[in-house]
Amino acid sequence: MKKNIRWLVIGVALLSTSTITAQQATLTSPNQHINVQVTSSGSNTASYLKVWYTAGGKTTEAIPRIDLGLLLNNQDYAKDLRFVKSGKPTVIQEQYTALHGKKLNRSNTANEVVIAFDNAAQNRLNLVIRAYNDGVAFRYELPEKQGSFTVNDELTAYTIAPETTRWMEKWNTANEGLYTAMSNDKVQQQEWCYPALFNTGDSACWFLLHESDVNRSYCGSKLSNLAEKASYKLTFPNPKDGRGKGESAPTISLPWKSPWRVIIMGSLADVVASTLVEDVAPASTLKNTAWVKPGLVSWNYWSDNHGTKDYNTVCRFADLAAAMHWPYTLLDWEWDAMGNGGKLEDALTYIQSKGIKPLMWYNSGGDHTWVNATPKDRMLTHENRVAEFTKLKQLGVAGVKIDFFESEKQDMIRYYLDILDDAAQFEMMVYFHGCIVPRGWSRTYPHLVTYEAVRGAEWYNNGPEFTTTAPEHNTILPFTRNVIGPMDYTPVTFTNSQFPHITSYGHELALSVLFESGMQHLADRPEGYYQLPDAPKNFLQQVPNTWDETRLLDGYPGKDVTLARRKGNTWYIAGINAELREKRKSLPLTFLPGNTRYQVTLIADGKHDKDFSTTYSVADSTGTFNVKLLRRGGFAAVLTPMQ
């Protein structure tokens, strides 16, 4: 692999009596498809990166400029940086296993170099760059042994060519917006959520911008092109976020490392399959993870916003979980006001008598949220968490859903991670709602099984808008939000909530495979599942929600998407259509092992939106997968190896 590392430092020129020194260095990915170049002029101009992508003999300048730099309260690490040295290029090579997600066996493999700079005050800044087969990651290091500072600004900014098409979500603290596709004169100037998807003007290269390993020493960031239309600058949280609680600018203590700035890059299939955000995150330190058990969950809130307040409703959803062979049911808000036949303890006893494990909702509490729903503040302090987790452990509760964070300031990042540390001590699984998008934490804290941070099926309760926007939105999420980590969309609803859906039953069934979440909450009311024909009902009784492998077979954001996911030796294929016309797909099955035949059960759209068509066939790697999708339609299939 070392033969694939190219490292060049070039250029010393003399003009008249002045000395102008320019340093350029290029680091290449192991497969030689991605090149990242750093340039430092040594003058009053900031250092910057460029990224190229090569495939099929064609090279594309994917990102023409990434500005670099930090501004501390008493130090400038941007202008007048002096190149000092480059370290010896090294190979990062690590294998690890994920407990949940899109892929079981992971490879953290890259070429890395550390470049040292001094600022005008002769203080050191290191830039760590990694080139992966599926992208680039870079971070800042301040290696001095002591000192505490405020980071007033981070100057990292991605210059994007105007003809590059981009799919971006306007910034909101809950990360629950819709994506807008833009290019050229349609590009809007806003603050934007992570992740952001881009396709170069020649269509040859796709890349996704994000960050990873955000920890207690920093805040979460977002992207902003308000100052310059073509430049997306990393931007700290708005001081008003979280009701104005906490500082927007993070404080750091040396030695210090920034989060990784992550660029997932390649074909669209490379982007969808990438685990780069988790690959660069720290490994888990949990010695025993046998208690981390992802699974499917019945959930009453979507069909009845006050469902957990009613003991009988809670029991009906426990019965649903048992009938569908799902291991969990969630008691959402108002469990502390439960009545109509029983209280919380009665419900927990009933749930566990059915062989189902309960999960419970909490308000994150504190002055950072306007929401006063109870129980509030039981997660807010270490002492409160220890008391509550002790009680939950005694009651047989397997995990907690914690809601309404409303900020990505440094104090809130610390709060998230404090919750995860305490939960691990009590072997309590966790998922966050009204929250940050994944930053690689599911690797470091594998008991963090999912996050919301998505406009999901709950929005059918919030107004009529989602009825018409959901079909397109659903085809964008597998290329954007769900690439970077688990996503609690709460999918697969056949009946209607407060506002109807116009996606077909086949479309809804497909979401159980298309959307990945360590806790997959299937949101419909019991009769929505009981009334299904045998084939889709059986499918939902056995569909996995953790995967050994994921492949994009076909698709384009906003139009359609087809994924194949493997669990053991069994493959699941699912696809959806966003457009107002029927489509026929004929997809080669070359990804299947060459020596195996499969029994194929295909559950596709029938004659109309609420009808299924189920067919059975035999296939192998030499065949094709043929299916028809209605407008806003979809399908799901299981391919079981034949003996």
pLDDT digit string, tens, across residues 319-372:
999 999 999 999 999 999 999 999 999 999 999 999 999 999 999 999 999 999
Residue in the structure block whose two tokens are 């339609």: 633
The pLDDT value given to residue 24: 83
Distances (CA, A) of 172 to 176, 238, 454: 7, 10, 11
Amino acid at 55: A
For the chain, give the mean pLDDT.
Answer: 95
Domains of the chain and any CATH numbers: 2-279 (2.70.98.10), 297-499+517-531 (3.20.20.70), 560-641 (2.60.40.1180)
Q: pLDDT digit string (tens) for 585-606?
A: 999 999 999 999 999 999 999 9
Distances (CA, A) of 131 to 36, 92, 274, 440, 482: 7, 10, 14, 18, 23
432 close to 416: Cβ distance less than 8 angstroms: yes
Instruction: Kindly tell me if the per-residue pLDDT of 532 is higher than 90.
Output: yes
The pLDDT value given to residue 44: 56
Instruction: Kindly tell me if the per-residue pLDDT of 45 is higher than 70.
Output: no
Q: Is 534 exposed, middle or buried (0-12, 13-18, 19+ CB in 10 A)?
A: exposed
The pLDDT value given to residue 159: 98
The pLDDT value given to residue 130: 98
Q: pLDDT digit string (tens) for 53-84?
A: 999 999 999 999 999 999 999 999 998 888 89
Q: pLDDT digit string (tens) for 91-107?
A: 999 999 999 999 999 99
Instruction: Tell me the average pLDDT across 547-569.
Output: 98
The pLDDT value given to residue 79: 85
Q: pLDDT digit string (tens) for 448-474?
A: 999 999 999 999 999 999 999 999 999
Distances (CA, A) of 608 to 139, 295, 502: 52, 31, 11
